[in-house]
């Protein structure tokens, strides 16, 4: 039986910065073989025949998400009443080693608390004020215009009202192993809004799950 692990990464956002960490898991199950024992003597005595099941081995599939360039970002000057784009894209790399029966892998970005995606003391910025887009050519299921982190969880990954599906990677017979790197642009949208002065920080989680 082929299984798949899920990896998670955390991206630290601020009108200050973004951090990232990675966990991935891989499980192997190794079958064992039993040996029959034959005793001999004079005159010879033979045992009855016992049939043993064929030894087997299986390897669980794995997926991992890592962040490269753009892992740390800050907005030095925030303007009220207008969109504020973070200065550079966040480079996200998905790698996978999966059984071809897997349909696809989806990568989701989400905030643990949609009501407080970024905070400065007791002041909070909701996830609906933060938006993302992916313009990497040929990527499936990506938001190509700035879209708020207001979607629900997918496959048990994400939070209700605080998530955004970033892209989908189909797993076909020829692509059971591979990697894909995309660029995620982030935005703090203050259109029609006024932000209370302060230093705001938050964590954007990025996680992949098989479908």
Tell me what the mean pLDDT of segment 137-150 comes to. 96
Domains of the chain: 8-26+61-210 (2.60.40)
The pLDDT value given to residue 161: 97
Question: What is the pLDDT at residue 53?
Answer: 54
**Tokens, residue 116:** 């407080």
Write down the pLDDT at residue 11. 58
Give 15's pLDDT tier (boundaries 50, 70, 90): low
Whether residue 158 has pLDDT greater than 70: yes
DSSP character for 115?
G
The two beta strands, 123-125 and 104-110, are unpaired
Separation of alpha carbons 14 and 73, rounded Å:
7
Torsion from C-alpha of 81, 153, 186, 177, nearest 10 degrees: -170
**pTM reported for the whole predicted model:** 0.74
- The answer to whether residue 55 scores a pLDDT higher than 60 is no
Mean per-residue pLDDT over the chain, rounded: 79
Most confident of 22-26, 147-151, 153-157: 147-151
Q: What percent of the chain has pLDDT over 70?
A: 72
Q: For residue 100, is pLDDT > 50?
A: yes
Residue with the larger pLDDT of the pair 11 and 133: 133
pLDDT of residue 141: 96
- Please, which pLDDT band fits residue 175 given cuts at 50, 70 and 90? confident
Q: How would residue 191 be classed by pLDDT, with cut points 50, 70 and 90? A: very high
Burial 35-69 (b: 16+ CB within 10 A, else e): eeeeeeeeeeeeeeeeeeeeeeeeebbbbbbbbee
């Amino acid at each position: 039986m082929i299984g798949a692990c899920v990896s998670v990464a955390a991206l630290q956002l601020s009108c200050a910065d973004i951090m990232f960490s990675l966990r991935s898991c891989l499980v192997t199950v190794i079958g064992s073989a039993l040996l029959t024992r034959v005793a001999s003597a004079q005159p010879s005595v033979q045992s009855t025949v016992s049939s043993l099941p064929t030894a087997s081995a299986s390897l669980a599939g794995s997926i991992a998400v890592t962040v490269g360039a753009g892992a740390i970002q800050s907005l030095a000057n925030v303007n009220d009443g207008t969109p504020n784009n973070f200065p550079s894209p966040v480079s996200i790399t998905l790698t996978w080693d999966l059984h071809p029966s897997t349909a696809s892998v989806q990568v989701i970005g989400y905030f643990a608390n949609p009501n407080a995606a970024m905070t400065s003391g007791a002041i909070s910025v909701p996830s609906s004020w933060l938006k993302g887009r992916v313009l990497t050519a040929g990527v499936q299921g990506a938001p190509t215009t700035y879209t708020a982190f207001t979607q629900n969880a997918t496959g048990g990954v994400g939070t209700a009202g605080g998530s955004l599906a970033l892209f989908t990677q189909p797993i076909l017979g020829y692509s059971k192993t591979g990697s894909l790197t995309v660029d995620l642009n982030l935005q703090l949208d203050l259109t029609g809004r006024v932000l209370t002065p302060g230093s705001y920080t938050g964590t954007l989680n990025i996680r992949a799950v098989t479908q």
